[in-house]
Homo-oligomer: A and B are copies of this chain.
Amino acid sequence: MVELGSTSLTIVGVIAGLAVASLVVAAVLRRQVLAAGEGTASMQQIAKAVQEGASAYLNRQFRTLALFAVVVCALLFLLPGDGGVKLGRSLFFLVGAAFSASIGFLGMWLATRANLRVAAAASLPGGRAEGARIAFRTGGVVGMSVVGLGLLGAATVVLIYKGDAPAVLEGFGFGAALLAMFMRVGGGIFTKAADVGADLVGKVEQGIPEDDPRNAATIADNVGDNVGDCAGMAADLFESYAVTLVAALILGRAAFGEQGLVFPLIVTAVGALVAALGVAITRVRGAESGLTAINRGFYVSAVVGVLLAALAAFVYLPSTFAEFTDGTAGLTDHGGDPRLIATAAVAIGVVLAGVILWVTGYFTGTTSKPTLHVAETTRTGAATVVLSGIGVGFESAVYTAGIICAAICGVFLIAGGNVALSLFLIALAGCGLLTTVGVIVAMDTFGPVSDNAQGIAEMSGDVSEEGAQILTDLDAVGNTTKAVTKGIAIATAVLAATALFGSYADAVASKIAEIGNAPADDLVAAMMDYDIISPVTLVGVILGGATVFLFSGLAIDAVTRAAGAIVFEVRRQFRDFPGIMTGEVRPEYGKVVDICTRDSLRELATPGLLAAFAPIAVGFGLGIGPLAGFLAGAIGSGVLMAVFLANSGGAWDNAKKIVEDGRHGGKNSPAHAAAVIGDTVGDPFKDTAGPAINPLIKVMNLVSVLIAPAIVVVSFGEDANTALRLSIAVVAALIAFGAVIASRLRAARVDREGALAHALEEPDVVTAS
């Protein structure tokens, strides 16, 4: 086992201490949130229903996923590698998954308690500032926990495994990413199925307002906000944090040995300090909007983050590349100053976060041209609303992708074109971007908490008109912050995935060196070739993009299907219990929650299996080069698709708000009907498919890094076994493809059942056909 020097161990120990301190801060903030008033009995009753539904869903989800995690853990152990490290990797896979799940559960648990307190606070004098404070503190708890657990996990691995930490960290990151992906997909399906289903029957068919207690799907809708937007988002950001840090540690270790392994931990520890600062300084002053306060918090954190990172670089790093203790990646004659170069990379990451914040605001804000344009098209009907929103989404995706590309090119220039150095610096830029994650998580939690608070206020009827307006304002701020977080998350995905290419190539190269054999024939040589002009590499690029398209399509279809089931259930309740409409009978909220739970757990398997097994099929079937192409295609299509889905959804949502604020005819005008259709199309775009692409990219990347040595072993050299290689590819393809087929068959059955239900309800129409 490679040893670390005592200075490094001391530093890592201090960092682990800082991580624990972050968790203590989170605990203190949590107590502050829970200390706030809980409002009337009626409000508490509603909140309790939401809490129970959300807990029930997450518990069932965790039971399902625990089985899956154990299987993956066993499979990990089958891969080639040193016994002790392999055991560590499997173990820390479980730790990563458990941390991801805990963060998600914490986010949900606290949000379902904070929403009630925000709603209660809004009715009191000084409600605006107090409501915003509680909502933002709730985010602070999650933010500090993300930072604390991520840093604690990584530091622990480094303390235990020292120089062998990278292989174990792969397991940790993979566990975090895999669980986050499932939580994003499952939660996303739940929340949007409930939302779309509730709107289709409530708003469209019965003409009752959103969150009306007579709608059987309202509680499910509010549960969804918590399991999707809170739990899913928190797990996703934890995963972004963990994987980016892991990538930096792996590459730093490979390029610069001990110092390369420790420095990213230092930068991330700076992030923990900055997060605490951000949470402390962000408070609403007087009548200013919540967004102003959040922006201020973000920019102050960003500047302080860069300054502290620069300080750390100048204290810890040597002034020339020749002075590194070990492993300088052939950079001994590099003329640059490592301290300046590292600081510049971190700064690029921070600036990238700021620019994405601005661009996303531009494309989805209620006062910006693109959203006003979408609102303008509501006058010519739903079709033009859909088309203009898609146009805005495509365009914003291009600019966001371009900005991320510019950041990568900037880092590449700083590295003087050295690939190994630039990959490490890209990971470092990712760490820089994530120094602001504390504030970002806090910002993002703002959205669902205030959205839910509004729901509780509406359902209970116990909140004053002034209080309701405060909650509406808070909710609008939440819409924009949610879109921003998605942009930041996808940027970290691109940076982490790009950097992980380095560990992929390292894993392959070291295994080839170990085998000591060259590929025997043209076909195997082509399998090993990273050359982009090889036809099979290009096939990899196309298949990578195709996986992103299929994944998105499956997620969107799952929402459409599950929403259909909810529509039928809510209609049934209205029909069977006429008292619901008059307010005499309470709808069976639990039934709708059950349907959402059942359907989203069933539906999350298909995209999940696709993500985990597609890289295995491509890698073993076509080879190392095509698998690299596959990842590149997935990253390229993934970033564009993720931003497209998030921003077109955001623009539709806010275009609807513009119309509801009285433009183009206001509420209940034809323009409003068109805007509602746009918003409904955008729901699964922005909250199901779009955000799930971020963990998808990382899961596929980490699976590839993990299986790369195995592909090399079965492809050539002494243990080459073409039959085994192709068998693995075929089995993986069958699992991935089988899941898709199973989902199709289920869809066909739902269509048939739907037709049957329609036939019972509307015999005249069916007879006519």
Contact = CB atoms under 8 A, between A and B. Distances in A.
A748 interface: yes
Contact of A541 (B376, B635, B748): B635
Contact of A550 (B387, B398, B563): B398
A526 B412 contact: yes
Interface in A396-435: 397-398, 401-402, 404-405, 408-409, 411-413, 416-419, 422-423, 426
Nearest to A386: B681
A532 interface: yes
Contact of A387 (B522, B539, B559, B666): B559
Contact of A680 (B383, B523, B681): B383
A388 B664 contact: no
Contacts of A379: 754, 758
Contacts of A681: 383, 386-387
A758 B530 CA distance: 57
Contact of A408 (B401, B426, B538): B538
A549 B398 contact: yes
Nearest to A665: B765
A542 interface: yes
B526 A417 contact: yes
Given A380-B200, A628-B532, A549 B633 contact: no
Given A200-B381, A765-B665, A553 B391 contact: yes
A677 interface: yes
Interface string A553-580: 1001101100110010000000000000
A523 B388 contact: no
A83 to B, nearest CB: 29
Given A381-B677, A546-B640, A556-B391, A501 B538 contact: yes
A534 interface: yes
Interface string A540-552: 0111111101101
A559 B386 CA distance: 13
Given A402-B543, A539-B408, A534 B383 contact: no
Listed residue (A395, A532, A637, A662) with the most chain B CB atoms within 10 angstroms of its CB: A532
A505 interface: yes
A390 interface: yes
Nearest to A679: B383
A744 to B, nearest CB: 9
A531 interface: yes
Contacts of A530: 530-533
A662 B567 CA distance: 24
B539 A405 contact: yes
15 contacts: A372-B751, A373-B751, A377-B560, A384-B563, A397-B549, A401-B546, A408-B536, A416-B522, A419-B533, A505-B533, A532-B537, A533-B628, A541-B632, A545-B637, A549-B640
A731 to B, nearest CB: 18
Contacts of A525: 417
Nearest to A519: B417
A719 interface: no
Residue among A397, A411, A504 having the largest count of chain B Cβ atoms under 10 Å: A397
A387 B666 CA distance: 25
